Structure 1
Amino acid sequence: MTTRVAAIDCGTNSIRLLVADLPPAGAGPDAPLVDVVRRMTIVRLGEGVDRTGRLSAAAIERTRVALAAYAAEIESLGARRVRMCATSASRDAENAEEFRAMVSATLGVPPEVVTGDEEARLSFTGAVRGLAADARPPYLVVDIGGGSTEFVLGDTTVHGAISVDIGCVRMTERHLRSDPPTAEEIAAAEADVTAVVDRALAAVPGRDAATLVGVAGSVTTVAAIALGLPAYDSERIHRARVSYDEVAKVTADLLGRSVAQRMEIPVMHPGRADVIGAGALVLRIIMERAGMTSMVASEHDILDGIAWSLAETAG
């Protein structure tokens, strides 16, 4: 008997929905989730948070509209349990209670503003289930979000985790303000990101990993570009291995393009074009500083981890 659950991940840049059927009890540790529907909407909840410390009224309203549509779909599909996790932007904002009240009224359940450690654990759980046989543990999972990046080291369990404030929206707003960014802006971003990545890799410790696993939209978009896909294809991207040289080439190309020129790339989501340069830069620097010659892209991430977390409590 399967159980249908709904997971929502509300980050700095996007809000995502997964409705899935959990495997029945006794199905074994390798039994997969069965997707019913996945949705992603760019709402830019964290727009301006790095500068103002507050969620804007416009950003909260964009999120409310997307969440209302998700709530209707959850009800129509008959999910028996719902969990929504809100991450970096709502963790940092002074007016987080306003956001929380909106979610409770719209969805019927309050958001869980998860800690960086919990965010990391959920991302790891979602990312490493069902990896290809050549992806050897220990794994370093990096989840490059809009406001923060999570580093998680583990094998079957998590050994170390840290969340740091170098997401693609935050770095774009802080450093890459020109279109396209100037050499001076890129150098400032590189210095900022490198210092934070070195601190994170020492804390985890990430350089002990055998396999780097990258998750979230910046990583999967870079992978799709490196693969030369004519359109975004989750099945082709999931578990694809991309070399450091390919990531470095894609990063340089993206940073050299204007937003309008990035929009011409077939796999580019319109809501990601202005921040993808920073996201790619974070990925490239992580690979460089960790000494990784390749990374495995995963389409499964914190959203899947949230769904799996409902396995024991659903019913």
Structure 2
Amino acid sequence: MSDRIAAVDCGTNSIRLLIADVVREGTDSPRLTDVHREMRIVRLGQGVDATGAFAPEAIERTRVALRDYVDLMIEAGVTRVRMTATSAARDASNREDFFTMTAAELGRAVEGAQAEVITGDEEARLSFAGAVGELSSEAGPFVVVDLGGGSTEVVLGDGDGVQSAYSADIGCVRITERCLQGNPPTREEVASARFFASERLAQAFGVVPVERAHTWVGVAGTFTTLAAVALDLPEYDSERVHLTRLSLPDLRKVCDRLIAMNHDERAALGPMHPGRVDVIGGGAVIAEVLADELARRAGIAELIVSEHDILDGIALSIA
């Protein structure tokens, strides 16, 4: 028995779609079978850190992408949909303009459907559910880190679920707009970015007892891009990236390389999405700070990169 659902994750930098069949077999928990996955960079959070409001052109970019996603839902025969909005939508003073737009588009597929802002805590829990589903519970406890455009969720849990979570107010777009203006960034800018990341992530580590973790799992576009570059892929390949293991020295090496590059050098990398070129350096700074802290606090020696994340968690929440 199965039915077809859709999940949409609208973050600060990207908007992503998952259409999946929910398969129920006996008393087992429902599982998802992918029908379609897609990601577009729309930079909804453009300037929100500075202005406190969505830019009209950012809402329009998001509307165009969502319109196409809804067309795909209608064609696929989706019966239920859940769309969540995260960091940027929590911060924007004119977020009602965004929600009016999303309700109009989603309502074409499922009557009454509309986007919802989720708390940082729920964002963390959904990310955890999506990230660890394919990993052996014996590898736990897990620390799952969802490094987004405007926020970074740090979640500790095991096979029984989440034990502790915190949403830090830092992400690859936010840190880039605030600290990294040079092309490439100057040594002083990088130092400032590392201080900013350390300060914000210290708040997370003060709440989440990561010293209990045995395994670090990284999700979302910064981590998947770092893995693809580390693997030296000629183009992005999600199957190759999924469940890649990077030693921390290899992770630091690829981070340092990307931070030191200028815009054109990053853009020339085969697996680099054009929408990530200008913010991957900021994401790399955050990843390095995370690596240093998790090595020191928990003795973590490697990063597992998962393609499954909050998007899968959103879908499972309505399955």
> Structure 1 length as normaliser, TM-score?
0.96
**What are the residue-to-residue correspondences of 1:14-93 with 2, within 5 Å?**
14-26=14-26, 28-29=28-29, 32-93=31-92
1:275 and 1:167 mapped to 2: Cα distance?
9
For 2:13, the aligned partner's letter is: N
Pairs within 5 Å for 1:77-156: 77-108=76-107, 109-131=113-135, 133=136, 136-156=139-159
- CA 1:135–1:256: 2 relative to 1, 3 Å: farther
AA paired with 2:17?
Answer: L
8 Å CA contact 1:90, 1:113 repeated in 2? yes
Runs of 4+ in 1 over 6 A off after TM superposition: none
Aligned mates of 2:207, 2:137 — CA distance in 1: 26
Instruction: State how far apart, in whole Å, the 2-side matches of 1:283 and 1:99 are.
Output: 30
Deviation at 1:195, TM superposition (A): 1.7
**8 Å CA contact retained: 2:24, 2:31:** no
Aligned partner letter, 1:299: E
Contact 2:131 2:308 in 1 (8 A): yes
CA deviations on 1:51-107 (whole Å, 9 max, x unpaired) are 000000000000000000001100100111000000000111001111111100111
Asked if residue 8 in structure 1 is aligned to residue 12 in structure 2, the reply is no
Which range is displaced more, 228-237 or 302-311?
A: 228-237
Q: Is the 8 A contact 1:121 1:161 kept in 2?
A: yes
Question: Partner of 2:310 in structure 1?
Answer: 302
**Cα distance in structure 1, aligned partners of 2:294 and 2:265:** 31
Aligned alpha-carbon RMSD (Å)? 1.2
Q: When the two structures are aligned, how many residues end up with a matched partner?
A: 309
| C-alpha distance in 2 between matches for 1:298 and 1:186 | 27
C-alpha spacing 1:261/1:141, structure 2 compared with 1 (3 Å): same
Instruction: Kindly report which structure 2 residues correspond to 1:165-244, keeping only aligned pairs within 5 A, or say none.
Output: 165-244=169-248
- Aligned partner (choices 247, 250, 266) of residue 246 of structure 1: 250
In structure 2, C-alpha distance between the alignment counterparts of 1:222 and 1:275, rounded to whole Å: 12
Q: Read off the aligned partner of 2:259 and give its amino acid letter.
A: L
State whether residues 135 and 211 of structure 1, in contact with CA within 8 Å, keep that contact through their aligned partners in structure 2: no
Q: Is the 8 A contact 2:144 2:217 kept in 1?
A: yes
Q: CA deviation at 1:202?
A: 2.3
CA 283–37 in structure 1, closer or farther in 2 if over 3 Å, else same:
same
**What is the DSSP-based 3-state SS (H/G/I as helix, E as strand, rest coil) of the residue aligned with 2:273?**
coil
Please say which of residues 227-236 and 20-29 is displaced more in the overlay. 20-29
8 Å Cα contact 2:137/2:158 also seen in 1: no
Letter in 1 for 2:143: L
Q: Which amino acid aligns with 2:304?
A: V
Which segment drifts farther, 192-201 or 8-17?
Answer: 192-201
Q: 1:135 to 1:229 in 2, by over 3 A?
A: farther
Cα deviation digits, residues 159-209 of structure 1 (max 9, x gap):
000101110000000000111100000000001101222221221112221
* Whole-angstrom CA distance in 1 between matches of 2:277 and 2:171: 14
TM-score between the two structures when normalised by the length of structure 2: 0.94
When structure 1 is superposed on structure 2, of 248-257 and 4-13 the one drifting more is 248-257
Q: What is the letter of the counterpart of residue 176 of structure 2?
A: T
Sequence identity, in percent?
53
Tell me, in whole angstroms, the C-alpha distance in 2 between the residues paired with 1:197 and 1:115.
18
- Structure 2 residues not aligned, in runs of 5+: 108-112
1:54 aligned partner, one-letter code: A
